[in-house]
Amino acid sequence: MNGGGDPITRERARAVAARKVLPWVVASALGAAALVKVAGATWGGAAGVLGAGVLLAVFVSTLAVARCPECGRRLPRPGAEPAAAGGGARLKGCARCGAA
Ligand SMILES: [Zn+2]
């Protein structure tokens, strides 16, 4: 089984994993803020909890972007371009430095 040994494949897998937890993070932030409010906190207290959750969501969303391990350029998402554009050959690695 291919464990994704090359850095770009591992980076893509990491970004996909971060993208999967993002909705969970957002839902948790909303749920935590609602719970805090229900528990009797002021709107300011609930907003503080929500703000912390939003910060975490922003952080996770930055992790959800795959970046080239060599130069830091954003990697195109596989399948982001129409198949008619000429196949996936150019999607494999980095368009700037050619890391693959
Ligand atoms: Zn690169």
C-alpha 83 – ligand 1 centre gap (Å): 23
- The structure's pTM equals 0.72
Ligand 1: centre distance to CA 21 (Å): 26
H/E element, 35 = helix 7-38
Residue type at 47? A
Structure tokens at 3: 């464990």
- Ligand 1 centroid to residue 82 C-alpha, Å: 22
State the distance from the centre of ligand 1 to the C-alpha of 54, rounded, in angstroms: 30
Please write the tens of the pLDDT for every residue from 82-100.
544 444 445 577 888 887 7
Cα-to-centroid distance, 20 and ligand 1 (Å): 24
Q: What is the pLDDT of residues 61-74, one digit of tens each?
A: 999 999 999 999 99
- The answer to whether residue 10 scores a pLDDT higher than 50 is yes
